[in-house]
Amino acid sequence: MSQAPAIPKATRRRHDREIVALAVPAFGALVAEPLFVMADSAIIGHLGTAQLAGLGVASALLTTAVSVFVFLAYATTAAVARRVGAGDLQAAVRQGLDGIWLALLLGAAVIAVVLPLAPGIVNVFGASATAAPYATTYLRISSLGIPAMLVVLAATGVLRGLQDTRTPLYVAVAGFVANAGLNATLVYGAGLGIAGSAWGTVIAQCGMAAVYLTVVVRGARRHGASLRPDTAGIRASAQAGAPLLVRTLSLRAILVIATAVAARLGDAEIAAHQIVLSLWSLLAFALDAIAIAGQAVIGRYLGADDAVGAREACRRMVQWGIATGVALGLLVIATRPLFLPLFTGDPMVKDTALPALLIVAFSQPISGVVFVLDGVLMGAGDGRYLAGAMVLTLAVFAPVALLVPALGGGLTALWGALTLMMTVRMLTLWLRARSGRWIVTGATR
């Protein structure tokens, strides 16, 4: 990519308009999602420590379970966008419906596992005797909303593929408002306690899914797409998502290993790690918004047999990723004295977190490239390469991270290992992008 001629100014402006139009609403929707857990925590926190601890365990389990299936959004976005580029809107909507049917099947399977096994799952994750009953109650009730959560993921992918990120933003904001209102009413007004919070979340998620389904069904009727489940199409959606599932599980393993290593370093280190990780995750939302734009735009160009446009869009998005990473890094450096007191007053935790925050700041341009190229390759349907690259990254990171406590390193060394991880990801993704092998045009890959 670096040896390619400069992108004409008019073309840059067109790409910039596309990126902004897709990325800004996507960022709003991404930020709205974690507010569900924050609202639950704020409301449940006033019931007592045991209830809040139970919510912490159950919400962590639910978040992990749902994040594993994020491929429903990624794979659907790429497949739908290709067909949009090819001008076949009927097939685009039909592809999206296959992803939604797959989401319903997976959601039903998760319910079948979680409902009977909830107490055992909670115990495995170390909930205390006082918190476990609350965690079990919340987990069991909330699991009933998992099919709706997965439908939301798949339907979001459909709309992104159709180049619409505004509707997901509106639905996410409305869902957050409804969730907060329902929780307050059911927890305190109806006196249901933590069960009321769980039911409020389930109702809000089902409402969001209903809105998405209404939008998608209208699109299907408008373009003459069948609403019936298609076994071949569902199987194809599952096959497209399987490599992305491997990628996601490998990434989750990296984050779990990092947290486990931080816990071995001491109380101050794990506390500081959680603070730094929360900031890192927040910054990821901004970069992931550009990646989402990449998924939609690249898929559309490839579906339209426009390899040149796909290359140019990729290059421009990388420039956006680097520039955004630099801006975020400078923002972290400038605001770190104000950021830390929001989370802790412990001088030891602050002193431990400060060097790690600097590493996060300086690594943001690397993260910018990683997120953008990740989105580009997802949009191209290059899931197998992404899976292999992430498994390789895990294989490099794991031994380095596990050596940190053995060699007497602290949290700064651990975040150095995480930066190494992001650097390996950047190199693997850049080599693939530079090779051009990801450029496979046509309505299907």
Among 174-178, 282-286, 336-340, 427-431, whose mean pLDDT is lowest? 336-340
Specify the DSSP class assigned to residue 176: H
Tell me, what's the pLDDT at 4? 58
Amino acid at 415: W
Tell me, what's the pLDDT at 174? 92
DSSP SS3 for 148: helix
Q: Average pLDDT over the chain, rounded to whole?
A: 89
Among 359, 105, 89, 383, which residue's Cα sits nearest to residue 247? 383
What number is the average pLDDT over the span 422-443? 95
Q: How confident is the model at residue 337 (pLDDT cuts 50, 70, 90)?
A: confident
Distance CA 354, CA 360 (A): 10
Specify the DSSP class assigned to residue 190: S
Distance CA 67, CA 60 (A): 10
Tell me what percent of the chain is helix, strand and coil, each rounded to the nearest 5: 85, 0, 15
pTM here is: 0.87
Among 141, 168, 134, which residue's Cα sits nearest to residue 154? 168
Query: What percent of the chain stands above pLDDT 90?
Result: 62
- Selected residue with higher pLDDT from 273 and 159: 159
Task: List Cβ neighbours of 34 (8 Å cut-off, separation of 6 or more).
Answer: none
- Selected residue with higher pLDDT from 268 and 78: 78
Tell me, what's the pLDDT at 5? 61
Among 422, 319, 334, which residue's Cα sits nearest to residue 376? 319
SS3 letters across 425-436: HHHHHHHHHHHC
2-29 pLDDT, tens digit per residue, is: 455 666 777 778 888 888 889 889 888 8
Classify residue 147 as left (phi > 0), alpha (psi -120 to 50) or beta. Answer: alpha
Continuous segment of H or E residues that includes residue 263: helix 231-265
SS3 letters across 52-114: HHHHHHHHHHHHHHHHHCCHHHHHHHHHHHHHHHCCCHHHHHHHHHHHHHHHHHHHHHHHHHH
Cite the DSSP H helix spans in 125-265.
Answer: 132-143, 146-161, 166-184, 194-223, 231-265
Distance CA 412, CA 9 (A): 42
181-193 pLDDT, tens digit per residue, is: 998 899 988 889 8
